[in-house]
Amino acid sequence: MTATIISGKQVSEEIRKGITEEVAQLKGQGIVPGLAVVLVGEDPASQVYVRNKEKACHDLGFYSEVHRLSADTSEEELLALVDRLNRQMSINGILVQLPLPGHIDEKKVINAISVDKDVDGFHPVNVGNLVIGDDSLLPCTPAGVIELIKRTGLEISGKHAVVIGRSNIVGKPVSLLLQRENATVTMCHSRTANMQELAKQADILVVAIGRANFIDASYIKEGAVVIDVGMNRLDSGKLAGDVDFESAKEVSGAITPVPGGVGPMTITMLMQNTLLSAKRAHGLN
């Protein structure tokens, strides 16, 4: 079998078209969604992501601010900036790029972001609301995974989903969202004894472990949907997922590539969260 390639890039473009139309409409009412991105230090990978987010804002007609702070910025200075952005009316979403330098307490910074402007969905209140199934800003990558599966026309309800990885930003929340979509979910992690056996039972396999090309065809059931959340920069400079694409595409029914899979969806969900937050700030939605 040769798998269907799930194009996150294409699905992303469809969603962005809808966002652009909505933004044009809001402009008629004097509303412009605004996103602030805060980058501390000069990590090259982070620089690329931040530039991509800036470009998305520009393309979709959002207002954007990028705050580039030096690596030795103190925690107090960063908290003061977050506090200012919390109160700034033109800003509907605040994203502090992670990881932060070691001398800054990430939890403290995330907790300081206004729950309503937490477009990453990382604030404990948003996480709690996600767990109990209440309205919340959803974390972008997990929301992007669900949206990608649904918009490709693939069924989630009643399927067995296996998630490999249990991080707070991907594994845990994507498991909850899959469960919300009525999948039966198994979570695997580094201490899982029989991971290959479990993965092979998956109708939907979501991989977020951070090891390049770790999952090959031997982990995949014939016809399964494979979602690769991995984003590993190889020494060659090339980007690789957690799934060995060439091997996996021979057995899976549908599979996401890296790049061009989950990555673009993450940024699109960030924009959607910012739009939602802007509407809510103006009593819409």
Ligand X SMILES: Nc1nc(=O)c2c([nH]1)NC[C@@H]1CN(c3ccc(C(=O)N[C@@H](CCC(=O)O)C(=O)O)cc3)C=[N+]21
Binding residue positions for NADP(+):
165-167
Annotated binding site: 165-167
Using the minimum distance from each CB to ligand X, give the nearer residue, 19 or 231: 231
Q: Which of residues 224-243 bind ligand X (CB under 6 A)?
A: 231, 239
CB of 283 to ligand X, least distance (A): 27
Q: Distance (Å, rounded) from C-alpha 37 to C-alpha 260?
A: 22
Residue 55 among the catalytic residues? no
Q: Looking at 260, 279, 280, 281, which residue binds ligand X (CB under 6 A)?
A: 260
Using the minimum distance from each CB to ligand X, give the nearer residue, 26 or 229: 229
Q: Distance (Å, rounded) from C-alpha 139 to C-alpha 218?
A: 30
Using the minimum distance from each CB to ligand X, give the nearer residue, 33 or 263: 263
| Contact (Cβ atoms closer than 8 angstroms) between residue 8 and residue 140 | no
Residue 178 binds ligand X, judged by CB under 6 A: no
Q: Which of residues 198-227 bind ligand X (CB under 6 A)?
A: none
* Strand arrangement of the beta sheet that strand 4-5 belongs to: 4-5, 254-255, 225-228, 204-207, 160-164, 184-188
Q: Which of residues 42-61 bind ligand X (CB under 6 A)?
A: 48-49, 52
Residue 120 among the catalytic residues? yes
Reduced to 3 states, what is the DSSP secondary structure of residue 62?
A: coil
Q: Looking at 120, 147, 228, 244, which residue binds ligand X (CB under 6 A)?
A: 120
Residue 258 binds ligand X, judged by CB under 6 A: yes
SS (H, E, C) 193-252: CCHHHHHCCCCEEEECCCCCCCECHHHCCCCCEEEECCCEECCCCCEECCECHHHHCCCC
| Contact (Cβ atoms closer than 8 angstroms) between residue 119 and residue 277 | yes
Environment class of 268 (CB within 10 Å of its CB; exposed 0-12, middle 13-18, buried 19+)? buried
Q: Which two tokens stand for residue 203?
A: 């109708």
Using the minimum distance from each CB to ligand X, give the nearer residue, 168 or 285: 168
Residue 144 binds ligand X, judged by CB under 6 A: no
Residue 259 binds ligand X, judged by CB under 6 A: yes
| Contact (Cβ atoms closer than 8 angstroms) between residue 183 and residue 160 | yes
Using the minimum distance from each CB to ligand X, give the nearer residue, 27 or 55: 55
What string marks each residue from 67 to 106 as x (binds ligand X by CB under 6 A) or -?
----------------------------xxxx--------
Reduced to 3 states, what is the DSSP secondary structure of residue 149?
A: helix
Span of 55-63, 127-135, 200-208, 254-262 interacting with ligand X by CB under 6 A? 254-262
CB of 138 to ligand X, least distance (A): 12
Query: Which residue, 174, 164, 167, 139, is CA-closest to 215?
Result: 164
Residue 97 among the catalytic residues? yes
Residues binding ligand X (CB under 6 A): 48-49, 52, 95-98, 120, 140, 231, 239, 258-260, 263-264, 266-267
Which residues are tagged catalytic?
Answer: 53, 97, 120
